[in-house]
Amino acid sequence: MAENTKLVEEITSRDVDFAQWYTDIVRKAELADYSSVRGCMIVRPYGYAVWENIQNELDRRFKETGHENVYMPLLIPESLLDKEKEHVEGFAPEVAWVTHGGSEKLAERLCIRPTSETVFCDHYKNIIHSYRDLPKLYNQWCSVMRWEKTTRPFLRTAEFLWQEGHTMHATAQEAEEETLQMLNIYADFAREYLAIPVIKGKKTDKEKFAGALATYTMEAMMHDGKALQSATSHYFGDGFAKAFGVEFTDRDNLLKTPHETSWGMSTRIIGAIIMVHGDDNGLILPPMIAPVQLMIVPIMMHKEGVFEKAQELLKRASSICRAKADFSDKTPGWKFSECEMKGIPLRLEIGPKDIEQDRCVLVRRDTREKYFVALSDLETEIPKILALIQQSMYDAAKESLDCRIYDASSEDELKELAASKPGFYRALWCGSEDCENALKESAGITSRCLPFEGHLPKGKCVCCQKDADKTVYWGKAY
Amino acid sequence: MAENTKLVEEITSRDVDFAQWYTDIVRKAELADYSSVRGCMIVRPYGYAVWENIQNELDRRFKETGHENVYMPLLIPESLLDKEKEHVEGFAPEVAWVTHGGSEKLAERLCIRPTSETVFCDHYKNIIHSYRDLPKLYNQWCSVMRWEKTTRPFLRTAEFLWQEGHTMHATAQEAEEETLQMLNIYADFAREYLAIPVIKGKKTDKEKFAGALATYTMEAMMHDGKALQSATSHYFGDGFAKAFGVEFTDRDNLLKTPHETSWGMSTRIIGAIIMVHGDDNGLILPPMIAPVQLMIVPIMMHKEGVFEKAQELLKRASSICRAKADFSDKTPGWKFSECEMKGIPLRLEIGPKDIEQDRCVLVRRDTREKYFVALSDLETEIPKILALIQQSMYDAAKESLDCRIYDASSEDELKELAASKPGFYRALWCGSEDCENALKESAGITSRCLPFEGHLPKGKCVCCQKDADKTVYWGKAY
């Protein structure tokens, strides 16, 4: 059975070299490939199908909450980017500049959008005049570009796909509610669809988005104990609106400035799916997001009736889930390995013996458990097992997250944890950026968020020992 | 009723100034807006919802025929664009060049994709090795950029949204079949969803895509008698594959070069929908593609029971079509005008008198016909009338196309037609590019296509009077 194990042999073990394991999965599961442009990836059909499933469900949730999709220009004139001071300082160093159209030099350079607050505000200025025009709840699906130095597929690429919501509201309160609503939509989606538990919280001023008053985040825990910021939602107050001259006449006939939010989730989340769920045999996809939920593998296909039975089962399975059958001339062992590498949640094996006994074998990808199932029960058993996989993948990820949260009460303890126990370190913080910088210097960790839940009792700052009432999750992050 | 007609007054009449009428509709129906970047438009929620409906149905048809979606990098290195000579000559003059990343000057400039043959081929080189890897049937939904001098929303913009399919096949025959299959998918979609009849045919060498062996096109006829190239499908032979070194080992163990196609439809098609169906009251959308198929307008909403009945009808209508109700405080007349401007196929009016008689009024957007319908019949009548609208919009467009096709047998006749009767001019052609150039010079027309159907009997070239057996549709075009 050399063939059977060949695919598997080619993956580096998670515990030997996590970074290499990650890259191996991206390539071997055919999620993405490198391109001729530094830092830009090719999202291959299997990876893109995962992204489409993410898009469909998120888009449904956005529309259900009243959001509309639009498409804004890819290019932003330098003068527009310059309008909000903090924003341009944050993004100008990492944008790609267009300087020529055909053979002509442009009068003003244009950058490829790194994010679109500026163009949305520029448009909102033209279409918002009255309280009747509010709220404006727009979203767009597009690619953005940030000229990163070191890149890794999905996790950090010069170009990536995402959605960016940009909304305008009559009051600060409404905008703040929107900001939190969208964070909750992301977190619910991560839990229910991606089987990924997250810590929700607020970013410190040091870590917040360039130009935002508040940035909310959800942080997920990867298998190697590093955090991954998986989605963010920003509250801008009226800063951008003022910079761009967006105003409206309110019900009381006074001219006011609207309040703004923005929020986004990107293809980065596919990196999280890989690093939360994958194992040494490859990717493991939660059923809710898997392009193929069930793969049928016929055994001894040359024997009479096997091919026909597999086709019949494919037809039945297709009416209850996203099913495929592998009728290629590869060996069953090879096909099993491919199913595992691609993280297909459930595999159905059917051979002459099974047919004789009117049953088949179902094999779970996550636990490798086998079930012998009567063919007459397929319609009830497949959905039941898929739901079971989804739930137990979440439970396993939750357990893995929980057992990687450590409390620390001194800087030394934090440093020791950071050096020996990868994970989240919960500790009190006084609120000073100096302490944040000091901990980055001494322990190599950053503040991930001020969590909404799970606060420590008041005490002393883990760094400066002054009075502190802010609980922070610290950690190393992607 | 000043309010009632205000919206309508603001549109220029089609027959007074077609170009201004078009722009008025784009703005007043809130399909698109101008942006701060020259030639780049903002696709507004209503326009984007039309595009989403187009995407959903085309994407379904692509997948049904075995195509998979991918995402390729936005940027193309100059050296990659240079690999296919005709291609780079066609596109280099109209691309946007990125020369700097952040503050660093790039070693090689990168262009924003004007089309992605080059990046697909570069990827195919890496993933195609054996006949087992063929065919590769990839598509991507993205934006592209062409640095156009004069632009108009949807019709010609520096940046536009589209899908581009790029496929590789083991044999020339298979690739040619794919090219025609995709053209037929576009034409069927245009007929069945957009209610737009098209002329299918082949482009002359002069008009074909840069680098293609053959370009197939579908040409639609706008209300002003100008043609609009609405989708194209290209057959490349093995030219690109050779230039990029794509090779595979065939079943016979010989090393061969695969054959390639590409095909695309863009947001330009929204321009066609406007110009084929719209009238002096605004847009008219075919029901199959309309974001809102039925708008409920309550009459005398302050009267008891009207609001509740309208809500009840909305609930019922929503289960059979894409329905909305306008409960705003605008007058019914204003709401009617808005429905007309936005081209909503069917309007439902419900007031106290109607409620008394257990009926409502349905008004078609296309013909303005009114139907008094018993409320108990809504579930059967609404789908029936929507289907009727779809069909009669197609019939009207077909008639409008047919009566704009003129035959010409001499250059003088062609010139006279071009000056007096906007439309397609069917005439014989010898096949020489000199004749094409001469007709462009003398009559201001270009060859639209060599049609698949409706050939003229052999005779003399309309231009040079030499023997000719090629039928060409000539015309002015967008």
Query: Which of A37, A92, A142 lies at the smallest CB-CB distance from B73?
Result: A37
Encoded amino acid at A89, one letter: E
Query: Which residue's entry shows tokens 């079971």?
Result: A388
Alpha helix ranges (H) inside A278-356: 306-318, 332-341, 352-356
DSSP state of A103: T
| ipTM topping 0.90 | yes
Distance from CA of B147 to the nearest CA of A (A): 6
List of chain B residues whose C-beta atoms are within 8 Å of the C-beta of residue A137: none
With CB atoms and an 8 Å threshold, state whether B102 touches A119: no
A424: DSSP letter: E
Other beta carbons within 10 Å of A190: 25
> Is the Cα dihedral A335, A340, A343, A348 positive or negative?
positive
pLDDT tens for A277-311 read 999 999 999 999 999 999 999 999 889 999 999 99
Residue A451 tokens, joined: 């969590």
CB contact under 8 A, A123 and B68: no
Distance of residue A316 Cα from the nearest chain B Cα, in angstroms: 19
What is each CA distance from A107 to A95, A100, A110, B36, B95, in whole angstroms? 18, 9, 10, 14, 16
pLDDT in tens, B382-426: 999 999 999 999 999 999 999 999 999 999 999 999 999 999 999
CA distance A149 to chain B (A): 10
Residue A108 pairs with which residues in a beta bridge? none
Contact A452, A200 (CB under 8 A): yes
pLDDT at A65: 98
Q: B68–A49: do the CB atoms touch at under 8 Å?
A: yes
Report pLDDT for B1: 36
What does the DSSP 8-state code read for residue B341?
Answer: H
Cβ(B320)–Cβ(B377) under 8 Å?
Answer: no
* Bridge partners (DSSP) listed for residue A229: A219
Largest CA distance in chain B: 82
How close, in Å, is residue A119 to chain B by CA atoms? Answer: 8
Torsion (CA) B388, B389, B393, B394 in degrees, nearest 10: -40
Quote the minimal CA–CA distance from A292 to chain B in Å.
Answer: 14
What would the two tokens of residue B416 be? 């006279």
Q: Which residues of chain B have pLDDT under 50?
A: 1-5
Cβ separation B36–A122 shorter than 8 A: yes
Strands B68-69 and B136-145: parallel
Residue with tokens 């299997």: A46
Query: How high does pLDDT run on average in chain A?
Result: 95
B-chain residues near A123 (CB < 8 A): 33, 35, 42
- Which amino acid type is present at position A16? V
Q: CB B70 to CB A147 under 8 A?
A: no
Give the residue from A395, A442, A402, A444 showing the smallest Cα distance to A426: A402
What is the rounded CA–CA span in Å between residue A32 and residue B213? 31
Question: How many residues are given for chain B?
Answer: 478
The 10 Å CB-count burial string (b at 16+, else e) for B456-478 is beeeebbbeeeebebbbbbbbeb
| Probe site for chain B from A33, A41, A46, A74 (most B CB atoms < 10 A) | A74
Q: What is the pLDDT of residue B288?
A: 98
Angle, vertex CA A288, rays to CA A285 and CA A292, nearest 5: 60
pLDDT band, very low/low/confident/very high, at A3 (cuts 50, 70, 90)? very low
Peptide bond preceding A287 in cis form (omega within 30 of 0): no
Query: Does residue A1 have a pLDDT over 60?
Result: no
What is the predicted pLDDT for the residue at A4? 45
Query: Could you report the per-residue pLDDT of A226-281, keeping only the tens digit for each?
Result: 999 999 999 999 999 999 999 999 999 999 999 999 999 999 999 999 999 999 99
Mutate to test the interface with A, among B37, B122, B266 (most CBs of A within 10 A): B37
Best of A42, A55, A270 to substitute, by most chain B Cβ atoms within 10 angstroms, is A42
pLDDT at B8: 52
Q: Hey, what are A244's tokens?
A: 């761009």
H helix and E strand count, chain A:
15, 25
Q: For residue A374, which phi and psi values (nearest 5 degrees)?
A: -65, 135
Q: Are B286 and B345 in contact (CB under 8 A)?
A: yes
CB B115 within 8 A of CB B263: no
Nearest-CA residue of chain A relative to B123? A35
B27 in Cβ contact with B13 (< 8 Å): no
Cβ–Cβ of B40/A93 closer than 8 Å?
A: no
Q: How confident is the model at residue A414 (pLDDT cuts 50, 70, 90)?
A: very high
Which residue of chain B has the CA closest to A92?
B102
- pLDDT score recorded for residue A149: 82
Alpha-carbon Rg for chain B, nearest whole angstrom, is 25
Contact A240, A86 (CB under 8 A): no
Count other Cβ atoms within 10 Å, centred on residue A390.
Answer: 22
- Going by C-alpha positions, the residue among A69, A89, A79, A67 that lies closest to residue A244 is A79
Residue A76 half-sphere exposure, CB side, CA atoms within 13 Å?
27
Please spell the DSSP secondary structure of B265-307, one letter per residue.
Answer: EETHHHHHHHHHH-BTTB----GGG-S-SEEEEESSTTSTTHH
Rounded (5°) CA angle A151-B96-A245: 85
Per DSSP, B455 falls in state P
For residue A407, the 8-state DSSP code is: E
Predicted confidence (pLDDT) at residue A8 exceeds the cutoff of 70 = no
CA nearest B76: which of B133, B142, B139?
Answer: B142
CB pairs under 8 A between A and B: 154
Distance (Å, whole) CA B432 – CA A185:
62
- Confirm if A421 and A372 have CB atoms less than 8 A apart: no
Question: Tell me, what DSSP letter sits at residue B373?
Answer: E
Local confidence band at A89 (pLDDT 50, 70, 90 cut-offs): confident
Percent residues over pLDDT 90 in chain A: 92
B39 close to B148: Cβ distance less than 8 angstroms: yes
Signed CA dihedral, A159, A165, A167, A173: sign only:
negative
Q: Is A41 in Cβ contact with B73 (below 8 Å)?
A: yes
DSSP classification of residue B171: S
CA atoms within 13 A on the CB side of A217: 23
Residues in chain A: 478
CA dist., res. B285 & res. B142, Å (int): 24
Question: Residue B4 has what pLDDT?
Answer: 45
Q: Which residue of B has its CA nearest to A103?
A: B93
Residues of chain A in contact with residue B123, where contact means CB-CB under 8 angstroms, are 33, 35, 42
CA distance A19 to A27: 13
Task: Tell if the CB–CB gap between B43 and A101 is shorter than 8 Å.
Answer: no
DSSP B135: -
Cβ–Cβ of B33/A75 closer than 8 Å?
no
Average pLDDT, stretch A393-404? 98
Maximum distance among all Cα pairs of chain A, rounded to whole angstroms: 82
**Residues A39, A160: Cα–Cα separation, whole Å:** 10
Handedness of CA A64, A66, A70, A76 (dihedral sign): negative
DSSP H helical ranges for A193-305: 239-244, 268-277
Q: Which two tokens stand for residue A65?
A: 């909450």
Distance CA B186, CA B180 (A): 10
Question: What is residue A10's predicted lDDT score, i.e. its pLDDT?
Answer: 78
Q: Do B143 and A74 touch (CB under 8 A)?
A: yes
Contact A97 B93 (CB under 8 A): no
CB contact under 8 A, A36 and B77: yes
Measure CB to CB from residue B80 to each of A36, A76, A92 and give the nearest one: A36
Residue A7's pLDDT is: 52
Per-residue model confidence as pLDDT tens digits over A226-237 = 999 999 999 999
Q: Which helix (H) or strand (E) holds A162?
A: strand A159-169
Minimum-distance CB partner of A73 among B40, B75, B142? B40
CA distance B155 to B263: 18
